[in-house]
Structure 1
Amino acid sequence: MSVIQVKNLTKNFGKAHILKGIDLEVTKGEVLGFIGPNGAGKSTTIKVLLGILKATGGEVRIFGKDAWSDAVEIHKKVAYVPGDVNLWPNLTGGEVIDLFLKLNGTKNKARREELIQKFDLDPTKKCRTYSKGNRQKVALVAAFSSDADLYILDEPTSGLDPLMEKVFQECVMDVKRQGKSVLLSSHILSEVEKLCDRVSIIRQGKIIETGSLSELRHLTRTQMLVETKQPIIGLNEIKGIYDLQENEQGLSFQADSEQIDGVIKHISQFGILKFVSSPPTLEDLFMRHYEGSEGTAAGGKH
C-alpha cells in the first residue's frame, strides 16, 4: 500500500525549473532513502509533500489524500524533522516537546521520557541555550514520541555526534518494525545504507535511479586485492577491469559486478595465495552517478 505517491511532480520558481517531473513512492513499513547533492531538489520535494509549497504540476498524495488541499488532515499522522531546527527561544526543550505532542494528540509520556534519556537531553533548559545538536534532539524526541504513521526526515542527524546518530538509527528501526513508513533525506551515505530498503537518487530536479541497494549495485564496481604464486598476465585485456595497480600487498583493481565470475576464473590459473573482495558501497554508487560530463554542474557538496 502506497503511503506517499508522487507522479510527474514539477515545481517552478518563476523561470527556474527546480523539479522536473519527479516520481516517488513510499509503501507501508518501508524506509526510503532520498539522496542527492545540495541543490538537487530534495528539500523542495519535501516542502511540497508537507503542503508548504504548492506543486506547479503533477500529483502528490499522502495516505491517498492530496498533499496541498488535505494538508491539515495529513499532518495529524505525519512527523517531520528538518535539518536545521528553529525553536521558541523562551520555552524549555521539554515544553516544546509537550507542545508538539499536544498538537499531535499523543499522550505517550513514557515514550517521551525514554527518548529524552536515550538522546541525553536536558529538557529543563531554555531553547535559546541549546546547541544545534540539542535543538535537533528536541525535534527527534518530539517526532519519535508522536503516534505518526509517516516520518519525513530531512537531514535529521545534522549536528549530532556518532553516539546520538546510533540512537537515531535505533529509533528508525523501531518505527519500521511497527509498520510505519520513513522518507529519509540524507547525504550521510552510511546512514542510508544501514537503514533504507530502497534508495531514490535525485539530480538536478530529476530522479535518475530508484531501487533496492542490491538492485543498484550493478552500477558499481567491486574492489579486489589479489596475490598469486605466479605473476598475473592478461588481466588488463579483460573487459570491465579498472584502476589496475601493483603494490606490496598484491594486485589491486576494480571490476564491474557482472564481470566478477570471469575475473576469478582468469586469476585462478596463477595460483591464488590471497584474495580480498570489498562490496561496493552506496558512496561508490552515488559518486559514479555524478562522474558524468555534467558531474561538476551538480553543485553543492555530495
Structure 2
Amino acid sequence: MSSSISVDSLHKSFARNEVLHGLSFELPPGSVLGLIGPNGAGKTTTLRCLLDIIRPSSGTLRVLGEDPRHSGPELRRRIGYLPGELILESRVTGRRLLNHFAALSGPVKRGRIEELAERLAVPLDKQVRELSKGNKQKLGLIQAFMHDPELLVLDEPTSGLDPLLQQEFLAMVAEVRNDGRSVLLSSHVLSELQQSADRVAILRAGTIVANASVDELRANAVRKLRVRLEDGQEALDDATRRLSAVPGVDGLRTLPDGQLEASVHDGIRPLLTALAALPVTDVVLEEPDLEEAVLTLYGTNHGNGHPATATGHRTRRLERHARKES
C-alpha cells in the first residue's frame, strides 16, 4: 500500500453549490497530515467523503488502499474516527458505552480502555449525561484509539480539553506515528499541528491553497525586524534608505523610541549585508509567526461576509437538507 489516503480531484456539490473544488492530497503510511482552515473551508466535508458518510460528486478516493464506497464495515474497523460533532448515548456509563463501541470496531486489547481512560483522566463509571463536555470528548478519543487502528481520522479532537490533556493527546498521536500508523487531523489549533503534523494542508473555501511541511511554512513566514541605531537623524535617514532597498523588507517605519521596524518575508542574507554597513546598536529579528502566515494564506477577515465563512454557513445548510431528503 503506497498511501494510507489518496485523494485525486475531489469535488463535492450540494444541489448546484460546489463546496469542494478538486482537492488532491496524499497521506503516506506512518505520518500525520493536518487539515487547517476557517469554519466552512471544507475540512469536515472532506473527512466525511473519505469515510463514506457522504458521497463525493466526482474524483477518486482511496483509504488504506480501498474505495470507501464499496469496502463496507471491514474497512471501517481499520479506522478510528472522531467526528467534530460528537453525539453520545447519555443514559449509560462511559465504560458500557466504550464496551459497546469495542464490539463494533473490532478486537480491543484487554485493559486498553482502562489504560487510555487513566491517561486522559476520564471517569468511566459515571453516566455520560453527568460528564462535562471535556470528559465526553475524552470518551470520543478513547473509542477512536482503543482498537489500535491503522488510520485515525480526527475532526477537532482537542475541543474542550485543557492544555495538559492536549499534550497527552499529542503524545498519543506521536505513538501512533512511531508505530507506523497514520493520522489525518483536522484542527483550528495551529500550535497543535506544529507539534504533531509532518505536513499541513491549508483549506480556503473548498480549495487547498498550500500543502507543505511546518518547516516550509515557517521558512516562508513573515519575520518582524527592529533595529536601534546610534543617535542622529543622519544615521536614521541612511538606514531607512538602505533597508528600503533590500528585497523582501516591507512596511519600514520609525517607532516613537527611534527604532526602525519592518517586516521581512524573504531570505535574510541581503538584510544582514545592509545592516553590516549601518551603526547598529541593537537588532531583533523575531521567530517567524507561523499563525500569521497561515491566516494570510486562508484569509484574515473572518467577519460577516468573508467568502469562507459564507461558504461554511451554506455548506452546513445544504448538508442538513441533503440528510432530510435521504
TM (norm. structure 2) is: 0.86
Aligned 1:230-269 pairs, distance under 5 A: 231=236, 232-234=239-241, 235-245=243-253, 246-248=255-257, 250-258=259-267, 260-269=268-277
Q: Distance in 2 between matches of 1:141 and 1:48?
A: 23
Structure with a larger share of its residues in strand:
1
Equivalent residues, number: 300
The corresponding residue for 2:94 is 93
Pair 4,222 (structure 1): closer, same or farther in 2 beyond 3 Å: same
Name which of structure 1's ranges 278-287 and 84-93 shifts more when overlaid on structure 2: 278-287
The corresponding residue for 1:54 is 55
Match among 299, 308, 312 for residue 298 of structure 1 = 308
Q: Does 1:171 align with 2:172?
A: yes
Name which of structure 1's ranges 273-282 and 15-24 shifts more when overlaid on structure 2: 273-282
Do the aligned partners of 1:19 and 1:205 also contact (CA within 8 Å) in 2? Answer: yes
Unaligned ranges ≥5, structure 1: none
Q: Distance in 1 between matches of 2:261 and 2:180?
A: 43
Deviation at 1:39, TM superposition (A): 0.7
Pair 225,11 (structure 1): closer, same or farther in 2 beyond 3 Å: same
Q: Does 1:28 align with 2:37?
A: no
Name which of structure 1's ranges 205-214 and 96-105 shifts more when overlaid on structure 2: 96-105
Identity of aligned residues (%): 35
**Cα-to-partner distance string for 1:120-146 (whole Å, 9 max, x where unaligned):** 111111111122111100011222222
Aligned 1:119-130 pairs, distance under 5 A: 119-130=120-131
Do the aligned partners of 1:200 and 1:210 also contact (CA within 8 Å) in 2? Answer: yes
Q: CA RMSD in A?
A: 2.2
Q: Distance in 1 between matches of 2:300 and 2:154?
A: 29
Letter in structure 2 aligned against 1:66:
D
The corresponding residue for 1:10 is 11
Do the aligned partners of 2:93 and 2:124 also contact (CA within 8 Å) in 1? Answer: yes
**Cα-to-partner distance string for 1:89-124 (whole Å, 9 max, x where unaligned):** 111111122222222223323332222112111111
Pair 33,247 (structure 1): closer, same or farther in 2 beyond 3 Å: farther
Name which of structure 1's ranges 241-250 and 150-159 shifts more when overlaid on structure 2: 241-250
Pair 269,10 (structure 1): closer, same or farther in 2 beyond 3 Å: same
Q: Distance in 2 between matches of 1:221 and 1:80?
A: 35
Deviation at 1:282, TM superposition (A): 2.8
Letter in structure 1 aligned against 2:309:
G
The corresponding residue for 2:292 is 284
Structure with a larger share of its residues in helix:
2
Pair 284,94 (structure 1): closer, same or farther in 2 beyond 3 Å: same
The corresponding residue for 2:75 is 74
Pair 109,281 (structure 1): closer, same or farther in 2 beyond 3 Å: farther
Letter in structure 1 aligned against 2:263:
Q
Aligned 1:152-191 pairs, distance under 5 A: 152-191=153-192
The corresponding residue for 2:148 is 147
TM (norm. structure 1) is: 0.92
Q: Distance in 1 between matches of 2:117 and 2:18?
A: 42
Do the aligned partners of 1:9 and 1:58 also contact (CA within 8 Å) in 2? Answer: yes
Pair 142,236 (structure 1): closer, same or farther in 2 beyond 3 Å: same
The structure with the larger Rg is: 2
